[in-house]
Structure 1
């Protein structure tokens, strides 16, 4: 086999991470957030608790070694030099059981994986962690940013033997958590490193001695070019095709808004669902909205008025809001109705988001 062919085969390896190039950000685009459960890009969650430290988290436009135009940046805006037991902050991706079923974790045939990612951070010792979906099993490993590597783009990788124990979902429920801790107080520190263990207490996502990103105002942690691959070595990161990656992301979160528009009330007509009232009576609009792809599960549907600060239909002809109703929500569609009287023939607009994240 030629080296060129070997490289080609490696490049085709399945990446179990969704949106590892950080290009898709349907909910927030480049808008920064600091609250817990914030998604700077699709499928990557920022969570924080306990600490008085504050960070601004966002998708930023900055080319990566793998060729992506984007990465996630965490910037400390309020420092917290001391770390208490309950202090925690991390980036996380949750992987669906169906997506990783072929790794056969939880069986004697469990396959090894390699987690590879780009990072830019201050010098120090950092951790990555994996949990099973039920938070009963964990694995913590460390990586080091040397003084020479500090605040520069570097690629790190961790090889992990597949877990032959525990229960690992192989359906559409949560299969695996992948964590990149930024702070982990003692309640979040693991007793075991580089081995699968049961979670008997606490929430182990890192080790004692983990660098505290929040120690210094202005500290920056960037994550990019993320891949999780079967085997004991990872290929060079291959940037996914954007339309294909968007469809993968829409299994977990979708919206009617234009791609560059963050979901919000009173955000205008662009991309909105439009329907014409057949009669003047309540229920005169009943529209089945199909999702862009079949979603992981029946999503939570939120509606948005195009021209007012409520969640209802906007009646263009009557310049008024009309009460909305939802019915028959499923993994492929939802019925959106109007539960108010209107004018026959009047145009009505509404936006929606569908959230099936784990």
Structure 2
């Protein structure tokens, strides 16, 4: 709706209505019937859309209609575009619980939380966390980090050079349209291919792979986006092991020296690419910890020889003998795990035996540290050997429940 600017003789002044001025001898503006009817009809449309009956004697109906139309429908799901719209975890690459680089150029693994990097053909790849400069304007939202794939050995005959994330449950986005958005750059123009695959778990139907698109990366940061129709699950069989998932995969060029940087990855329901969802670091960490958790501080990778800070603790007191003189501690997970996790144990210092309890004096190691009663909520750690001398003992641990 607008002023009747196209109506001859309406007498608008600077595009708006004006009063008559007898002193200056200027007439007032006219209000054409078509314009007045249009304004009234727009108000009536809002009132009736809210389920109200228009009344000539009631002057608050438009405000009542606006309030009614603004209410959330309790029968509808909360709009996916508003909260937790990004189905990927750690798409901003803020969380790196396992360390900020891979263990070696020939070791495929999870590095940034929830993102797995895999390659073969004897290729050598360094995966690392890289910093965005403060105030940079190439990638929005002032992100802190991006992930770098630096191939230092091309390899021969490789058929897998992949960055991927498995999203829990193959039901995710099934039969729906989804939109992928990400930022990336490369050392030179390079093509990457992106797919989603539906894995039905052990004993289930065969994996279904659906292309999202091929993207030509540039040497400067650029935003890329595409939509995909995720197949329905009709006629498929779900496995019984609870490890089904929807996997997003970035397939990189094979058998070449290359540097590829990637940031702010978002996969959301719908046909429209919306702004990247920024979640708090606390929320993002908790979502990551459903799949992986450690006793170390967040800035310390597992295996760090940083002492007992954060480690599990047990005191063997004077007078304890035999089996009673063993360290015993319970590790209650901060976040319940997706499934029963696999456990790894680490010593707290460079002395002694790897993966064993170590005394606070750094002079005594246990011989047979072990985990007991592991569940999705926690685990006990003790030692099964001869009694240990009176000391306080420490041990670090990780719990891995990745898909």
Correspondence 1:69-88 to 2 at 5 A: 69-79=144-154, 84=157, 86-88=158-160
Q: Is the CA contact 1:66–1:238 (under 8 Å) kept in the aligned structure 2?
A: no
> 1:117 matched to which residue of 2?
182
Q: How far, CA to CA, are the matches of 2:81 and 2:290 in structure 1? A: 26
RMSD, aligned α-carbons: 2.5
- Higher alpha-carbon deviation: 224-233 or 269-278: 269-278
Per-residue CA deviation, residues 274-330 of structure 1 (Å, 9 max, x unaligned), is 111142333533322111100011111111111234111012357110131211001
Structure of larger gyration radius: 2
**How far apart are 1:30 and its partner, in Å?**
4.7
Per-residue CA deviation, residues 34-85 of structure 1 (Å, 9 max, x unaligned), is 23432230011110012x44221111112543432011101121235xx63x
> 1:326 matched to which residue of 2?
371
1:303 aligns with 2:345: yes
Correspondence 1:47-62 to 2 at 5 A: 47-50=118-121, 52-62=122-132
Q: How far, CA to CA, are the matches of 1:10 and 1:233 in structure 2? A: 9
Q: Is the CA contact 1:133–1:175 (under 8 Å) kept in the aligned structure 2?
A: yes
Q: Secondary structure at the match of 2:285?
A: helix
- State which of 192, 195, 209 in structure 2 corresponds to 1:129: 195
Q: Is the CA contact 2:125–2:149 (under 8 Å) kept in the aligned structure 1?
A: yes
Q: How far, CA to CA, are the matches of 2:299 and 2:237 in structure 1? A: 39
> 1:15 matched to which residue of 2?
86
Q: Secondary structure at the match of 1:41?
A: coil
> 2:397 matched to which residue of 1?
352
**How far apart are 1:239 and its partner, in Å?**
2.3
Q: Is the CA contact 1:117–1:223 (under 8 Å) kept in the aligned structure 2?
A: yes
Superposition TM-score, scaled by structure 1 size:
0.78
**How far apart are 1:177 and its partner, in Å?**
1.4
> 1:312 matched to which residue of 2?
356
Q: Secondary structure at the match of 2:323?
A: coil
Q: How far, CA to CA, are the matches of 2:238 and 2:224 in structure 1? A: 26
Q: Secondary structure at the match of 1:282?
A: helix
Correspondence 1:256-295 to 2 at 5 A: 256-264=295-303, 266-278=305-317, 279-283=320-324, 284-295=326-337
Q: How far, CA to CA, are the matches of 1:167 and 1:26 in structure 2? A: 35
Ranges in structure 1 where 5+ consecutive residues have no aligned partner = 2-7, 184-211
CA 1:67–1:11 in 2, change beyond 3 Å: closer, same or farther? Answer: farther
Q: How far, CA to CA, are the matches of 1:44 and 1:57 in structure 2? A: 11
CA 1:9–1:176 in 2, change beyond 3 Å: closer, same or farther? Answer: closer
Q: Secondary structure at the match of 2:282?
A: helix
Ranges in structure 2 where 5+ consecutive residues have no aligned partner = 1-65, 67-78, 134-138, 201-205
- Higher alpha-carbon deviation: 248-257 or 279-288: 279-288
**How far apart are 1:32 and its partner, in Å?**
6.6
> 1:197 matched to which residue of 2?
none
Per-residue CA deviation, residues 96-117 of structure 1 (Å, 9 max, x unaligned), is 11xx7463x2xxxx22111111
Correspondence 1:1-358 to 2 at 5 A: 10-12=81-83, 14-30=85-101, 33-50=104-121, 52-62=122-132, 64-79=139-154, 84=157, 86-97=158-169, 101=171, 103=173, 105=174, 110-121=175-186, 122-134=188-200, 136-145=207-216, 150-165=218-233, 166-167=236-237, 172-183=242-253, 212=254, 214-215=255-256, 217=257, 219-264=258-303, 266-278=305-317, 279-283=320-324, 284-307=326-349, 308=351, 309-317=353-361, 319-322=363-366, 323-340=368-385, 341-344=387-390, 346-358=391-403
Superposition TM-score, scaled by structure 2 size:
0.70
Q: How many residues were matched structurally?
A: 306
**How far apart are 1:11 and its partner, in Å?**
4.6
CA 1:13–1:272 in 2, change beyond 3 Å: closer, same or farther? Answer: closer
Of Structure 1 and Structure 2, which has the larger fraction of its residues in strand? 1
Q: How far, CA to CA, are the matches of 2:151 and 2:371 in structure 1? A: 41
CA 1:171–1:242 in 2, change beyond 3 Å: closer, same or farther? Answer: farther
